[in-house]
Structure 1
Amino acid sequence: MRPVKYKSKVGEEILSFLESKKDTAVIVLDILKELERKNLSTNITTVYRQLEKFIEEKQVIAHSAKDGKKIMYQYIAGKEECLKHLHIQCVKCSKIIHLDCDESEEFTNHIEKEHGIALDYSKTVLFGLCNDCR
């Protein structure tokens, strides 16, 4: 169970919604729709402010959507390992697959050593189709 860090009802509902979708990534409009469904009045600025707090506390990570125009948010519950490996997001259902295997580590080590690039895993996502959507 996640620790309760925010006392505002909106903040708690945002975190609860993200936790319920922990195997997928969502956009701000999804969050706003959920808050509206629960009859919670807020605005988009408040949602973004709460998301930034959750990111700082390593409760949530943010990355670009496949179109590069939106930001997707994923609940990680403070799990530091999500900041140390790549992720693949299904382009159809938005499911997140964690690539915490030796082959992925070998690939990212190659990128750093041979190309001089240190990846930011919280923002680096590969896109493809999961087994269920293929």
Structure 2
Amino acid sequence: MKGEYKTKARNMIVDYLKANADKRFTAGDIVKALSESGATIDRSTIYRNIDRLCEDGKLVRYKENDVNGACFQYSEGHGSCHQHMHAQCANCGKIYHLDNEIFAGAEEKLKEEYGLEIDFGKTVIIGKCEDCNK
């Protein structure tokens, strides 16, 4: 395991990630937010830190159809994000960690009827959360 460097830039990036742990975001979102906060962090530094955080298992990288490039989710404290499904509010972007047992019957049916195996870590169900439905 590589040593972890605690630079000012890395700390600012991790602070952003922790503040947005229940949302998905892109590298561009991080660049924009840090720039708007007055931080002068080079874009390549942000991308390098994203790559390192993904390698370390603190960020989950996935592709969404409505977004160009990769989306990320901060997963520290949810080390098994690659092993369970997520739901996301289409309105506010909040992410929920789902129990795979909820989908056991559907998983079996998809495999049986279509030969399709679910990749839980890359599966996101889109809906509207309780707060946004009010």
Smaller-chain TM-score bracket: 0.7 to 0.9
Unaligned runs of 5+ in 2: none
Tell me what 1:32 maps to.
31
CA 1:96–1:19 in structure 2 vs 1: closer, same or farther (change >3 Å)? Answer: same
Amino acid at match of 2:81: C
1:75 aligns with 2:74: yes
Q: Which is further off, 100-109 or 41-50?
A: 100-109
Tell me what 1:53 maps to.
52
Q: Which protein has the larger Cα radius of gyration, Structure 1 or Structure 2?
A: 2
Query: What are the Cα deviations for residues 66-106 of structure 1, in whole angstroms up to 9, with x where unaligned?
Result: 51424221111052322211111111111001211522233
Q: Is the 8 A contact 1:57 1:78 kept in 2?
A: no
1:97 aligns with 2:96: yes
Alignment RMSD: 2.4
1:131 aligns with 2:130: yes
Measured in 2, the distance between the counterparts of 1:118 and 1:29 equals 32
Stretches of 4+ aligned residues off by more than 4 angstroms: none
Q: Is the 8 A contact 1:86 1:125 kept in 2?
A: yes
Tell me what 1:12 maps to.
11
Amino acid at match of 2:91: K
Q: Secondary structure at the match of 1:83?
A: helix
Q: Is the 8 A contact 1:58 1:79 kept in 2?
A: no
Tell me what 2:107 maps to.
108
TM-score, reference length from structure 1: 0.79
Measured in 1, the distance between the counterparts of 2:113 and 2:60 equals 27
Measured in 1, the distance between the counterparts of 2:105 and 2:54 equals 27
Q: Is the 8 A contact 1:66 1:91 kept in 2?
A: no
Give 1 or 2: higher helix fraction: 2
TM-score, reference length from structure 2: 0.79
How many residues align? The count is 131
Percent of aligned positions that are identical: 30
CA 1:82–1:43 in structure 2 vs 1: closer, same or farther (change >3 Å)? Answer: same
Q: Secondary structure at the match of 1:80?
A: coil
Q: Is the 8 A contact 2:84 2:120 kept in 1?
A: yes
